[in-house]
Every structure is written in structure tokens, then in C-alpha cells.
């Protein structure tokens, strides 16, 4: 589903590359943790999949297509096939829960009838039944992230990218979010989650790809992750 | 659905940015009013040219007694000279240029003079023999005045050849100046309008960067993301253009229909109906201006 073929990304000539000759295959329906300290290249990985940045060398394939060959007017179509969730939720503060999710459908021209039918279903999937008319500030952090996840999957993308989705949440709430992501993965969506939360990685027992200074240093099928602090202690 | 969405985005954009949108409306209003004023001057010049050039006559004044002109040193025009001039005017040679020739005797000239200066005391002191007799020549093509001038100004018995166009041309020169001034002001104001629209779009893009960021992520097309901004500018500029049109129309009704036509009944003025010709041009100009400047701004400030 996502293939990185010897990808190098350099933001400017002097500094160390953000990604250094990374090769990686993520199959359809997989759940992959992308782990590593801040600055290890996790966010760059996500930006390259979305074609927000161009690779310096190598090639990124999404659903079999080299993203470098996608003309700019077709990039929106690429992004419709990918849902994204961030650490800071990025909800629209002046819209209700329902409207925030519906927004993602409105902007790609879905009809009102389809929106009215789909949004409640998706909100149920993420565990937000009955909160349609709440405003974001009335929700807890975990609930806000569920709204963001609902928005990311409402157009049924094949891929869900999550950039530190639990970074702002306490451990219990984080586990709730992980359950939601796992359920989405069970339904066939490929999930790539960047994180440095070792508890979550170790509990989920999924594939773990560890990046350090832009290089893949480990790729375990059912891996664990010992974060920075743990590594120093050990 | 998408249309309704875009419209609601425009609405919220305008509400958030009301003061800037208002200033865009006002600046385009002023700039397009000057553009329109320049256009009106040109229309008026065209109208007057069309009207007067058909009516201007070349007048060939004949020598009178005691004329101060050197061409009349030989004394007043003789019968033979007059007949020769008339024959030449009506000859084959000048047939392509000359439409009609009318002779005006000294008595007739005095009659016209009295009509023209009826309220002036000098009327009583003027006698027929002080006024020149003349041939009034109307031309087929008023632009060919020089042909007559060259052929007859050195003819014996001719005091001077005069063309009313000299006087009209002076008027047209002033009107042309006025329209140039209006265009210069219009140019400066239009430049202000472009900068202001660019700034407005930039502010608008900044205040909605959250929305546009999300739109990008969920795969909204470039049109859906950018159209609300472009239309925001275009709507403001079109409102400005409509205000400018209304102002020009009002001014022309008040000034031309209400005052100039009554004060100068012999002059052909443009009607306020003709002002309406300018409306689509002004609206189009406003829309294109706003569209282009917002398009250029968006290329820099709203990534797609």
C-alpha cells in the first residue's frame, strides 16, 4: 500500500537528511508503528506519503503509484485516499462535532443526504454516539481526538496516517484511542502511526519500524519499543 | 452541494473580514468612477465631433474696403474676382470636396451680426460695408479643409479662409486633457485597489488557514479551496463597480440632462442612457482586476 524505495529527504544542504535512504513496505491492511525520538524522521515520512514535500532521492509509492508522477491537480485525489490524524486534533472550533466531520465530506462535494447518513455512523464507530451537537471545547481531549479520527475516516480512505495521536492524552484515554484505531484497522484500513509512547507500542504487539536520525534501525513484525528514557536506563 | 458550500464559505469570509471588504468596495468604487469619467469624456468628444464635423463650414471671407490684411492691399473684391472664386468653387476640380456653396452678401452678414449680438450696444455702430462678404462652403468630408484653404487663401480678392474646426479642436483638446487626468487618477486608484485586494485576500487566507489546512488534508480540489477567496474579492469589486456606475449615471443625469442640455441647447451632449453602455465594461473591469490580483495572492499564501 505504501512503499518507500531508497528515499532520502534533505531539507537543506548543510543539515543531516531527515530521511536517509529509507526503504520500507507497508502492505494493505497492515498496522505499523513508526517509532523514534523527535526529529528521527517520523513526520517527514507522513509528509512524503501525502505529497506535502518532494523526495530528494528515491521514490514513494502509494497504492502502487509513484507520488512524484502525480500531477498537482491530481494530488487532492491522492489525499482523499489517505486519512490523517494529528497530535493537536485540528478541529474547527466554531463547528459542532457533526459539522466538523461533515466538513470533510462537503469540501469534496458529497450530497447532503449522504452526509446525513454517513456522519452518525462514523461517529458511532469512534464511540461518540449522541455527541453530534457538542462543540469541540465541550469535549475532553480523547473525545476531540475521536472527532478528528472520525473526520479522517469519513471518506473511507484506504490508509490512515496518525502522527502522535496520543501525544496530548493520558494513558487511559490513549488506550481508548488505540482501540478505535485497531477497530478501523480490523475493517481493512492500513494504519501507520507515528509515536514515541512505548507503553502503547508494547501493549499492541504490532509491527514496529524504528527510525533513528532518518534511518530505519529496526523492523520487527511484533515488536516492542524501548523509548529514549528506557534505553538510557537499560 | 459544493456550490452551497462555497457560497457559505464566501459569506463567512466576508463577515470575518468586513472592514477590509468595505475598503475594497470603496477603492474600486472610486477608481472605476474615474475610469468611467474618462470614458464619458471620450464619448462626449466623439459625440461632438460627429455632430459638429457634419456642420462645420469653411468660410472664405472676401476683401472689404480698408482691410488690414496684406492679401487685400489691392482694395475691395471686384465683381470679376468674386465670380471667378465662385466659378472655381463650383468647378469639376472641387466637386469631390465641396458639398454646397452659399454666398453671403454684406447686408446678409450685417443681418446675422445683428441677430448674434442683439443685446450688445456695438450693433448700432456697425454698418454693412465694414463686414466682409463671404462664401460659406460646406464640405463633403470636413477633414479635407486644407484643400480649400490652400487653393483659395492666395486667390485675389480673398481676405482669409477660416475653418470653425480650429475653435472646436481647442475644446476637444481641453476635454482630452480632462480625460487624461481622469485616467491618471484612475490608474493610481486602480493600483491602490489591486494592492488592497491582495492584502484583503491575504488576511482572509490567514484567518481561515485552519479550514484551508483541513480542506487540503481531506483532498478538497484547488477550486473548492481557492474559489471562496477569489469570489470574495470579485464580489467586493463588482459592488464597487455597480456603485461607480450608479454615481456616473446620477452625475450625468444631474449635470448633463439637468443643466448642460438646458444651458447649451445647440450642443450635442451624451445622454444618461449612453452612460449605461459603460456599466458592463466597468463591472467586467472590476471583476477581472479583483480576480487576477486574488489569484496571484493565493498562489503565494494558500498552498494547495
Question: Could you please report the per-residue DSSP string of A28-67?
Answer: TT-EEEEE-STTSSHHHHHHHHTTSS--SEEEEEETTEEG
User: For residue range B244-289, what is the model confidence (pLDDT) as tens digits?
Assistant: 999 999 988 888 888 887 877 767 788 778 888 889 999 999 999 9
Rounded mean pLDDT of B114-141?
A: 79
What pLDDT is attached to residue B171? Answer: 78
What pLDDT is attached to residue A8? Answer: 93
Q: How far is B208 from chain A (nearest CA, A)?
A: 10
Q: Nearest CB to B215: which of A72, A81, A107?
A: A107
Contacts with B304 from chain A: Cβ below 8 Å: 72, 75-76
Binned at pLDDT 50, 70 and 90, residue A228 comes out as low
Q: Is B98 exposed, middle or buried, given 0-12, 13-18 or 19+ CB atoms closer than 10 A?
A: buried
> Percentage of chain B surpassing pLDDT 90?
12
User: For residue range A8-65, what is the model confidence (pLDDT) as tens digits?
Assistant: 999 887 778 899 999 999 999 999 999 988 888 899 999 999 999 999 999 999 999 9
> Percentage of chain A surpassing pLDDT 90?
76
Beta-carbon separation of B211 and A75 below 8 A: no
What pLDDT is attached to residue B6? Answer: 84
In this predicted structure, the answer to whether residue B29 has a pLDDT above a threshold of 90 is: yes
How many beta-carbon contacts under 8 Å exist across A and B?
61
Cβ atoms B251, B269 nearer than 8 A: no
Beta-carbon separation of A107 and B222 below 8 A: no
Contacts with A92 from chain B: Cβ below 8 Å: 210-211, 214
Beta-carbon separation of A90 and B220 below 8 A: no
Contacts with A111 from chain B: Cβ below 8 Å: 1
Binned at pLDDT 50, 70 and 90, residue B1 comes out as low
Q: Give the pTM.
A: 0.73
A76: cell is 487532492
Binned at pLDDT 50, 70 and 90, residue B49 comes out as confident
Binned at pLDDT 50, 70 and 90, residue A233 comes out as very low
What pLDDT is attached to residue A234? Answer: 37
User: For residue range B233-244, what is the model confidence (pLDDT) as tens digits?
Assistant: 899 999 999 999
Cβ atoms B139, B166 nearer than 8 A: no
Is A79 an 8 Å CB contact of chain B?
A: yes
Round the CA-based radius of gyration of chain B to a whole number and report it: 31
- B145-166 as b/e, with b when 16 or more CB fall inside 10 Å? bebbbebbeebebbbbbbbbbe
Is A84 an 8 Å CB contact of chain B?
A: yes
Question: How long is chain A?
Answer: 234
Cβ atoms B264, B52 nearer than 8 A: no
Return the higher-pLDDT residue of A149 and B75. A149
**A37: CB partners within 8 A, 6+ apart:** A196, A212, A227, A228
Amino acid at each position: 500500500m505504501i512503499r518507500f524505495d531508497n528515499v532520502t529527504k534533505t531539507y537543506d544542504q548543510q543539515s543531516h537528511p531527515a530521511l536517509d535512504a529509507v526503504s520500507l513496505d507497508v502492505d494493505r491492511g497492515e498496522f505499523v508503528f513508526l517509532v523514534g525520538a523527535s526529529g528521527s524522521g517520523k513526520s517527514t515520512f507522513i509528509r512524503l506519503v501525502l505529497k506535502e514535500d518532494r523526495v530528494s532521492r528515491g521514490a514513494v509509492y502509494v497504492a502502487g503509484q509513484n507520488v512524484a508522477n502525480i500531477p498537482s491537480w491530481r494530488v487532492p485525489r491522492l489525499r482523499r485516499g489517505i486519512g490523517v490524524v494529528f497530535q493537536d486534533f485540528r478541529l474547527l472550533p466554531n463547528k459542532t462535532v457533526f459539522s466538523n466531520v461533515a466538513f470533510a465530506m462537503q469540501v469534496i462535494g458529497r450530497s447532503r443526504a449522504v452526509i446525513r447518513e454517513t456522519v452518525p455512523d462514523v461517529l458511532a464507530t469512534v464511540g461518540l454516539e449522541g455527541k453530534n451537537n457538542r462543540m469541540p471545547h465541550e469535549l475532553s481531549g480523547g473525545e476531540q481526538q475521536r472527532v478528528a479520527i472520525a473526520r479522517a475516516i469519513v471518506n473511507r480512505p484506504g490508509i490512515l496516517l496518525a502522527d502522535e495521536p496520543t501525544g496530548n492524552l493520558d494513558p487511559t484515554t490513549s488506550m481508548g484511542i488505540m482501540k478505535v484505531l485497531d477497530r478501523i484497522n480490523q475493517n481493512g484500513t492500513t494504519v501507520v502511526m507515528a509515536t514515541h509512547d512505548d507503553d502503547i507500542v508494547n501493549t499492541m504487539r504490532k509491527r514496529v519500524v524504528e527510525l533513528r536520525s532518518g534511518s530505519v534501525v529496526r523492523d520487527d513484525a511484533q515488536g516492542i519499543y524501548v523509548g529514549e528514557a528506557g534505553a538510557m536506563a537499560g | 452541494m459544493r456550490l452551497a458550500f462555497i457560497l457559505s464559505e464566501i459569506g463567512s469570509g466576508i463577515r470575518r473580514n468586513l472592514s477590509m471588504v468595505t475598503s475594497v468596495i470603496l477603492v474600486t468604487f472610486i477608481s472605476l468612477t474615474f475610469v468611467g469619467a474618462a470614458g464619458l469624456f471620450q464619448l462626449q468628444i466623439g459625440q461632438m465631433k460627429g455632430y459638429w464635423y457634419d456642420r462645420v463650414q469653411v468660410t472664405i471671407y472676401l476683401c472689404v474696403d480698408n482691410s488690414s490684411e496684406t492679401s487685400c492691399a489691392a482694395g475691395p473684391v471686384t465683381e470679376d474676382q468674386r465670380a471667378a472664386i465662385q466659378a472655381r468653387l463650383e468647378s469639376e476640380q472641387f466637386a469631390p470636396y465641396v458639398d454646397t456653396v452659399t454666398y453671403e452678401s454684406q447686408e446678409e452678414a450685417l443681418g446675422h451680426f445683428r441677430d448674434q449680438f442683439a443685446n450688445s450696444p456695438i450693433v448700432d455702430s456697425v454698418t454693412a460695408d465694414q463686414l466682409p462678404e463671404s462664401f460659406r462652403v460646406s464640405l463633403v468630408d470636413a477633414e479635407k479643409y486644407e484643400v480649400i484653404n490652400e487653393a483659395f487663401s492666395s486667390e485675389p480678392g480673398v481676405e482669409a479662409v477660416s475653418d470653425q474646426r480650429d475653435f472646436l479642436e481647442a475644446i476637444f483638446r481641453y476635454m482630452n486633457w480632462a480625460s487624461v487626468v481622469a485616467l491618471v487618477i484612475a490608474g493610481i486608484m486602480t493600483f491602490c485597489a489591486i494592492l488592497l485586494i491582495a492584502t484583503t485576500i491575504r488576511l482572509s487566507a490567514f484567518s481561515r488557514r485552519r479550514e484551508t489546512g483541513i480542506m487540503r488534508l481531506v483532498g478538497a480540489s484547488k477550486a473548492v479551496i481557492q474559489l471562496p477567496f477569489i469570489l470574495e474579492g470579485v464580489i467586493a469589486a463588482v459592488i464597487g463597480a455597480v456603485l461607480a456606475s450608479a454615481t456616473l449615471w446620477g452625475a450625468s443625469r444631474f449635470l448633463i440632462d439637468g443643466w448642460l442640455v438646458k444651458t447649451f441647447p445647440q450642443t450635442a451632449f451624451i445622454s444618461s442612457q449612453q452612460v449605461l453602455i459603460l456599466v458592463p465594461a466597468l463591472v467586467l473591469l472590476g471583476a477581472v482586476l479583483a480576480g487576477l490580483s486574488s489569484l496571484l495572492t493565493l498562489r503565494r499564501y494558500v498552498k494547495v
